[in-house]
Each structure stands twice: as C-alpha cells, then as structure tokens.
Chains A and B, each alone.
Chain A
Amino acid sequence: MEHSGQKTLYELAKDGRLSYPLLAETVDLVCDIQMVGEKHRDELSIENVIDKEKYISGRGIIWPNKIEGKSIYFINKARDALNIISEHHRLGKQLIDDFGGSYGIVNSLLVEYPRELYKDSNLRNFLVGNYGEVVAIDFERLMLMPPHLELVKVLESGAREYVNEKERNGLIMRYILTMEHLKKERINQEQFFIVYDAAGIHNHVSVVGYLTDYSAVAQPQQRLEMGIETAQHFRRADEHVQRLDQTYEKDPKAKTEIRELGKVIREIERKVTK
C-alpha cells in the first residue's frame, strides 16, 4: 500500500497531481464555507478590513485607508507589496507612484463588490484526506472580502499551471452557479468575470511581494525556484490585464487606465526579473 502521507493541494500541484475533480470539490467547499460565514456572521470574529479608517502595512506603517470616504484598501495593500519589492530591487518612487495611480480601477472593482467570508483559501490551506476528500484547515483570521480573492487563490496559486483557461472558467462558473443555488439570487456573470480579473491582478502582485521578501532569506535553490515562480506570477497578472483590456473595448477611459497599469506591471517585472 502506498503511504503518501497527508498532502496539501499545493504539494499535489507541485507534483503535477492536482486534478480537476479535486479543484471542483475545493470550489464547492469554498462555497459552503462562505455560506457558513453568512449564516453565522454574528457569532464569528470577522474583520471588515476594507472599510477600516487606517491601514497597517506589513512593515507596521500606518496609512490612511480612505480617500473622500472611499476605501483604498487594495491600493494600500498593493503599494505595500511594491514597497517590499522595492527594498530588494529598487523600483524607484516614480514607478511606485505610477502604480498607485493606475491601480484605482482594480481597487474600485474589488471595493465595490459585495463581500463574503474570506479565510485565505490558498492551496496550502487544504489537505487531501486518505479517501481523496478535501479538508479545509487554517481559520486563523477571518475577513470580509470580494469572493473572487478566495477563488483566485484556489485556481491560481502555486507555481504550476494545473488548469487551463477553459477549465478555470468552468470552475468559476461552477462557483457562480453553486452560489446562485445556495443563496437563491442571481449573480451577474459578466461582472463576476471582470472582478475576477481584478482579483487576479491583485493576488499576483501581492504574491510577488511576499515571494520577494521570503526569497531574501531562502537557500539558493529555493531562491531560484522562487525566481521562476515570480516570473509566472507576473505573466499571470499580465494575462488578467489583457483580459480586462479586451473587456473594456467600449470604455476608452477604463481601457487607458488598464493599459497604463499593464505598462507599469511590465516595467516592474523587467526590474525584478532582470
């Protein structure tokens, strides 16, 4: 009998053994977790970090989190990641400012979307049981976030391509249909996919910040792997930018903003991966 030990989905993804049914089960589990969050919202300690007045960065710096009453949580969060990257790759103040300026569209899409329970559903936080069942772990910090951030973590974290675009869209649709069924309300699919792309950009930029920080103390071999992973995250962020670019065909203002953001991300990528 094979004794593989208990693996996380992340480890399975790294070994190239993460299957579509496992991901489908994970998506279902995310839906169920979010529904429990909705049912027991008053009993659970759930932070609404997006609407807080102050943002505390990873380095302990406190920034205002609202401008004219509107949350800039995701701009702050991304700028945080960029500052960390800058500590190691000297991005320059201008580039960080340009990035903050062009990130408004991603921020708006995410801030304005109705929120669900968020428990950080990255693949490391799911175990695969002995009978192939998916088991959620780590409920340390619960927050309210647009649901796309959970989904993007399930579908796009890790270094490998484990689902193709068609499968990924299928799984997003699965999430939409399941939530429609559970909540008994329609979800605007087109809008959901747009916000998913925004969440994708945000997730990949944040992960690059985390990887940069961690690779500074990692072993050479690990550092090499993280370098490859960083490049993949940039590529995926760019894919999401391209998709948003196509989506905003009839909105020249949004299109300009997205193109500007794409340009800045590619510039950062050039500096980080050179």
Chain B
Amino acid sequence: MSGEKRDIDLGLQLRELINSPFFTGLGTTSLTFMALLELDLLPQTPTGEDALKVMGIYFAETLGLGLVKEYVLKNRTIIKPDEPGNLAKKLKYSVLNNPRLAGIASALCLPGLFNVYNNMLMWVDKTLGTSVYPPFNPNNVTTLLLGTIGYLAGYLSVELAKSNELVARGFREYRKRHYEEDKKEDKITNFYNSLFEHPDRAALIAGGGYFLKNMVDMYNGIGLGSQVSPALTAMWAGFSVAVAVFTYFGWSALSWAFHPNSLSLMKNILSRDFNSLFHRYEQAIKDQKELMEIPTTEANEFRNHLRLGDLYLNDDKLEQAVDEYYKAMGLINKKDRSYTNPLDVVSSIARSLTEMVGEISYLKERVVESLSQRKEIDSKVRLRRIANQTRHMELINADKKIREEVASDVLNPEAHLFYAKFLSAVGDRLAEKEYERFISLIMDDPEQVKNFERIGPGPSRREILTYVPEEDVFLDRKIVLVRNQEKRMIDDEYNALKIFNKELGERVAKPIYVKS
C-alpha cells in the first residue's frame, strides 16, 4: 500500500465538505434557495415568513450534514454503562449516546405537544365553563420556532443528562479511589458536590413540591375556584413537569458556576490565558498542566494536550510540544469517556459556535503550509506537520500526508511504524499490515535489531521484546513482539487477546508474533 495511489480525490473532497457543515450548509441552502426561486416555489419579493422558511432549510440541511459527519465520518464519543444493565438501562444509554437524534425527535414532538396542551386548556375552560385560557394556534412560523426550540431542548437536555451521568460516575470513581480518606470534612465536601451533581433530584423535588403544594391548595379550597377536578389536576401536573424541566436546566447552570471542578477549571483557564497573553509561557504551561488534572472528557483531554503542545511550542520546547501532539493523537480513537465535569457541556456548545472560526484558521494554515512546502524540510519537521494535522481532526488530510511520507521512502521502517500507529489510532484495520511491514524491515537490519529490549529475565523458550527506537519522539514504544512461541500457544493467546483487546482496549498490549 505504501507506494500505491489510493487517493480518491472526489471522495476526499466530499468528506471535507461534509466535515464543515456550517460552510457547506450555507452553500446547499443557497442552491436550494435558487432552485425554489426557479421553480416559482418562492416569491421574487420574499416576505419575513419566506426568510424564516429559508432559515428552516439552512437549519435542516446543516443538521443533515452534521448527522452524516457524526454518524458516518467520525468516531462518535460514546459512553458505556459502568456496569452491565437491564433493558431500561440500555435504552437510557442509547438515548444518552444520540443527543442529536433526541433533538430531532423532540423537534418533531414539540409542535404536537403544544397541540395537546392547547386542547387541554380548551378542555379546562370547557369543563369549568370559563374563558381563562385563550387557545394558542400555532402557524407555520411558530411551528418552525417550536421545532427549533424543541431540537435545542431535546439535544441540550440529553447532553446535560449525559454530562450529569458522567459527573456522578467520575465522583463515584474518585470516592472509590479515596475511600480511606472519607472523613468528616470530606463528607461535607461530598455533600456540597452532590448538591450540584444531581439536577435530576433537584428537578424531582421542585416539580413534585410544586405539584403537591397546588394539590394541597386545591383540596383546601384556596386554589382556583375551590374545585377539585381531573382537568385541574392534569393542568397542575403539566405545569409541574415544566417546573421540573426548568429546575433541571437552572440547577445544571448553577452547577456549571459553583461546582468545585468548574471553579478550579475557570481559575486555571483564566490564569493560563492571562499568562499566555504576556508571553509567560512557563507559568501558562504550569496552569495548563494543573487544569489537565481535573477530570474531563476524552474530547477535552485531546484539546488539552493540543493546547499544552501549543504552549510548549511558544516556549521553544519543540520536543515536548510534539510529544503532547502525539498524546493527543493517541486519544483520537477513544470512544469511551469515564468522567467529565459540568463545564464540558458549556464548552461543547461554545466549540460548535466557534467551529467556523476554527475552519477559517485551518484554511489560513493550509495556505502557509503550501508555501512552506517549497522549502527543503527534514523528515522530523514533516512528521511534526502531520501531527499538527490532527490538531484539526483533519485525519483524511493527515492520512494522505503520511502515505506520501511512506511512499517517498518505502524502506524506512520508522515511516511504516508511524503510519501503523496512526492507522491504529484512527481505528483502521490496515494498521496490522503496516506493523508487519515495519517488523519485516527492521528484522532484516542488524543495526535496528539492537533497538529491541527483552522483557523479563533471560533466555527462555519464549521471548517477549519491546521496540525502543533511538530518538524519534513520534514513535510510541509500546510495541511488543513475541518470538519462539509454540504454535498452539500462539493460537490460544491470540484468541484470548482478541477478547481482551475488545473489552479493555489499549490497557492490554497487542503483541506482534515474529519468527525467531
């Protein structure tokens, strides 16, 4: 594969287009808009309502492209239950892992729900013989608005629920690790933390309390018309659900501000940015490192490593910078998140808003890069550039670059190893082939053989070796080779490792078996 041309430019370009739904959405909306004008489906002098329709088209097309990007192009971030569960739990996690789909379902449901609500109010008026509640009849514009609000509400509430689930789990893990120090002071801290970690409980208490109070008022004759009726009960129940939902959002918002994790995170972010602004990079690096000690999502961990890499780069510490980029690369394929903090949701929303800015800066970098390609550059700098590609998750581009790198020097084992590591990080099955190419090249080279280190004591029937490259910081050292192994043992161990790798991922090494 090293030398072959497998660039399908059209496919790659299409992928890149879908990778930027904000831009592509604008383009496709313009096309749709023009087509609608051509077909006389839109008037030449559009009204405000037509503008809203176009907005709706943009929204729908961006959403569609976003879905393709999320479900087809990218490895989604998925949280798994921390313990096996029943059907209800599986259902819960399948909702948590698909916030966009939940948003769409909610967008479809909200106008319908308003219809039900409308009918309910009319029913209350009819039952009581009053005209207290004027019916609300949604038109096209309000339906569109309701759909948008419904999408955002569904998407955000699932994201929030996911975040809260992960926060609680992170703290369970923290407590498990620190059970010895679970003293009185910690109990107070734990209580403080738990207040903010359970907006679902707060919502239940608020909604339940509101419902109970109104029921008591109604039965005591203080409430509306001193009447006890199923219609009123249903209405208070509806309002209580609304109170619960608002409490859930409000409480989560409070937790973003007052949860200890968020407070330390904000302090560190501010200090880091302040120090970066005045070129005090050493201090900024320290802040960034402190910030990285706070439990967060894999996605944020990825960005944190990139950020630390950038700070090292600014501080002229190239190798540390590259190492951080490499660590970020290692996190690309991590699908499971074990913990997070409440600020993650805020940052994920902020990220989607700043995505467009990111795209622009990426385009700028590509221009600079294409200019610098005219110069003679050594392999390490090129490799660094490849690592930089991952900064923008531009994996297709990085993949292309690495293939070029490998093709330019097919006998360079390190290029094959780098490519193998890259493929492995992005979850490509071709990684194993590249590992094999790397191994076969170094086993033929007496100079390279000295880079193998034996694990464990001396000569035995079965040797386990690791490969320790001399200097290249990109090349991970976690390469385990096994030689002199019996065939039956290879089969047994290979089968076992398939299971362990599947269940425990990179916490179990995947050895490469070589002949002695």
Contact = CB atoms under 8 A, between A and B. Distances in A.
Given A6-B466, A6-B478, A1 B453 contact: no
B453 A5 contact: yes
Given A6-B453, A177-B176, A181-B83, A138 B464 contact: yes
Most A-side CB within 10 Å, residue of B319, B323, B462, B499: B499
A231 interface: no
A15 interface: no
Given A8-B455, A39-B503, A45-B492, A127 B176 contact: no
Contacts of A131: 327, 330
Interface string A213-257: 010000000000000000000000000000000000000000000
A44 B478 contact: no
Nearest to B466: A6
B117 interface: no
A1 B480 CA distance: 23
A59 interface: no
Contacts of B506: 129, 133, 135
Interface string A123-151: 01001011101111111111000000000
A1 B319 contact: yes
A18 interface: no
Most A-side CB within 10 Å, residue of B179, B327, B455, B492: B455
Contacts of A6: 453, 466, 468, 477-478
A45 B455 contact: no
Nearest to A170: B180
Interface in A166-214: 170, 173-174, 177-178, 181-182, 184, 214
Contacts, number: 108
A158 B370 CA distance: 54
A249 B500 CA distance: 43
Interface in A22-77: 24, 29, 32-33, 36, 39-40, 43-45
Given A6-B477, A170-B180, A127 B453 contact: no
Interface string B450-467: 000101110000101010
Given A44-B495, A181-B83, A130 B477 contact: yes
A5 B319 contact: no
A36 B504 CA distance: 8
B320 interface: yes
Counting contact residues on chain B (CB < 8 A from A), the size range is: 35 or more
Interface residues of A, number: 40
B274 to A, nearest CB: 28
Nearest to A24: B177
Given A135-B507, A137-B455, A33 B478 contact: no
A93 interface: no
A274 interface: no
A141 B468 CA distance: 26
B175 to A, nearest CB: 10
Contacts of B495: 43-45
B493 A36 contact: no
B496 interface: yes
A137 B509 CA distance: 6
A137 B319 CA distance: 29
Contacts of A3: 468, 470-471
A38 to B, nearest CB: 11
A136 B507 contact: yes
Given A1-B473, A136-B508, A127 B503 contact: no
A5 B509 contact: no
Contacts of B453: 5-6
Given A6-B466, A6-B468, A127-B480, A137 B511 contact: yes
A170 B176 CA distance: 11
Contacts of B500: 33, 36, 136, 139
A184 B503 contact: no
B489 interface: yes
Most B-side CB within 10 Å, residue of A29, A137, A184: A137
A142 B177 contact: no
A45 B477 contact: no
18 contacts: A1-B473, A3-B468, A3-B470, A6-B468, A32-B507, A36-B503, A36-B504, A40-B503, A124-B455, A127-B480, A136-B509, A140-B485, A140-B492, A141-B492, A173-B180, A174-B176, A181-B83, A181-B176
Interface of B: 83, 176-177, 179-180, 319-320, 323, 327, 330, 453, 455-457, 462, 464, 466, 468, 470-471, 473, 476-478, 480, 485, 489, 492-493, 495-497, 499-500, 503-504, 506-509, 511
